[in-house]
Amino acid sequence: MPLFANPDAHATLLSALELQISQSFGDSKPDVIVGLDARGFLFGPGLALRLGVPFAAVRKQGKLPGPCVTAEYIKEYGKDLFQMQQDAIKEGQKVLIVDDIIATGGSAAAAADLVHQLKGQVIGYLFILEIPGLNGREKLSAPTTILIENP
């Protein structure tokens, strides 16, 4: 991935994401950043560090240790399961879900289901890009921000 081979470009991406969060939420920043398997892991932890909040991982079934909650989602070629550790989110915490791309919205909606199972509050979604024409945003129940809009 050329972006991650260039520290300046990587830092610029994190700065742009941080600015987007500041503009969207002001002083009401998230309590937790949740990143989706797998590319949400590439920038989610760095973003959480910049904001001074924890990072929580959403992974495919069987990849996380300890007790987990599970949610099913539909992919282009079938169903899959996401999991999150039961202690990743505390009741009432404000959560921002991040990933690189939104397509159909199924995986992001499943991540929100996991947050809700843990009694967290999804305050928004943040993606770098959107695949146009798949209407993924329509499946999401909180404000959705796309960093780079496709004209």
Residue 20 is encoded by which pair of tokens?
A: 């987007």
Q: Is 59 a catalytic residue?
A: no
Q: Is 91 a catalytic residue?
A: no
Can you tell me whether residue 121 is helix, strand or coil? strand
Q: Active-site residue among 18, 50, 59, 76?
A: 76
Q: How far is CA 89 from CA 22, 86, 128, 139, 150, in A?
A: 22, 7, 24, 22, 33
Q: Is 92 exposed, middle or buried (0-12, 13-18, 19+ CB in 10 A)?
A: exposed
Can you tell me whether residue 40 is helix, strand or coil? helix
Q: Is 142 exposed, middle or buried (0-12, 13-18, 19+ CB in 10 A)?
A: middle
Q: For strand 68-75 and strand 78-85, is the pairing parallel, antiparallel, or unpaired?
A: antiparallel
Q: Active-site residue among 18, 39, 50, 137?
A: 39
Catalytic residues: 39, 76
